[in-house]
Amino acid sequence: MLPLTSLVNQLTTMQQLEVERDLQSKVAYNSSTLSVYSSMLLGESKNDILANCSLDNSNYPKRERPIYQAILDFYGLKAESAKDQLLSDVYFAIHEEAYDKNSTKVRKLEELFHQLKRANLEQESAELLLELTNCSKDSPLHTVYKHLYDKYHAIELNNNLAYQAFERLNIQLSIFLDENLKNYSVRDLIKTYKEIRSIHLKNDNRISESILNVSMLLLTNYCGQTQLLNENKWDLNNLLEICKVQIENLPFGVERMFIQNTFDNTLKNAIQEEKLEISTLSLRRLELTTNHPSNYNFGLEIAEKKSSKQEIQRENLISCFVRRITTTTTIAIKQNSIIQSPHRI
């Protein structure tokens, strides 16, 4: 999961104000959560926020949590399954639940770790394992927990690097496909893709693998770099199916939504450009909706082509066909972040 400051910075100024209004309605007017949020907007580091708001690592997560929840509410994200709820269960077990003795807490956290593994979400277990490590200092299992924490903390840091590189690729691709004012070449895009691949191979896990494959999908679909498929002997349909399943298995949160939007937009483009045989298509496609907040989608902003009357009719036929054979979800309108376009409000 990305640091909360990253999610805040991916909102436009108006969106940040909307989140702030929501926070003000949910916490006390003098809550330190509001001070933490203001510090995030100013770009302060976590250490600066801890010092300026008189917090420490033990109480800081409780100030972050309402901000994270307000961002989920802004995007309309809600856990819809026990699997989606698991990471919230971990947070409450660590920071909110009271225990009669330390051994009870250890048993609860151990069970949650096993639940994360059964749900293929162990990549997000670093915080839980750190708590287990701290709670088991006099236990023979302390070394085991410390080893596991080091492993999954390294994965967490690596995945954040993968998200950052994926964002760079999306921004480069968006510029490349528009007027390309920065003169990016396909070679530049491939270089960033290879960086993502190196990050993944350094600490192979499901999250970075999904990021890598969606990156491959972008370059294959928008830039014709089909040679990237050769190593695995895939075609575009294979890659779409693989990405679809991997995205569905990502941890619940903003990151999964952004990547899902990227996938959906790419699938839509592939259909429009007749790169797929829709008569055999078994992938789900989103339906354009209104009154949905603008999403950053890790910097991907690809302008849609203006359609002729004939193309619009064809699009409507495709929409009707795909909706009959698939489950519909929600498509997000693409937008730059405030970092890339600070003048936009």
CB neighbour burial string for 261-281, b if at least 16 within 10 angstroms, e if fewer: bbbbbbbbbbbbeeebeeeeb
Q: From CA 49, how far away is CA 56, in angstroms rounded?
A: 9
Tokens 């409450």 belong to residue: 92
Tell me, yes or no, whether 58 lies in a domain. yes
Domain containing residue 44: 1-75
Distance from the Cα of residue 68 to its chain's centroid: 13
Q: What is the model's pLDDT at position 336?
A: 37
196 within a domain of the structure (yes/no)? yes
By the 8 A CB rule, do 276 and 270 touch? yes
pLDDT in tens, 96-155: 999 999 999 999 999 999 999 999 999 999 999 999 999 998 899 999 999 999 999 999
Domain presence at residue 140: no
pLDDT digit string (tens) for 242-257?
A: 999 999 999 999 999 9
Question: Of 48, 75, 102, which marks where a domain is finished?
Answer: 75
Q: Which residues of the chain have pLDDT under 70?
A: 277-293, 304-345
pLDDT value of position 317: 58
pLDDT on residue 272 = 84
Per-residue confidence (pLDDT) for residue 281, from 0 to 100: 54
- Same domain as 56, residue 193: no
Q: What is the pTM of this model?
A: 0.84
**Which residue from 74, 59, 80 is spatially nearest to 18, judged by alpha carbons?**
74
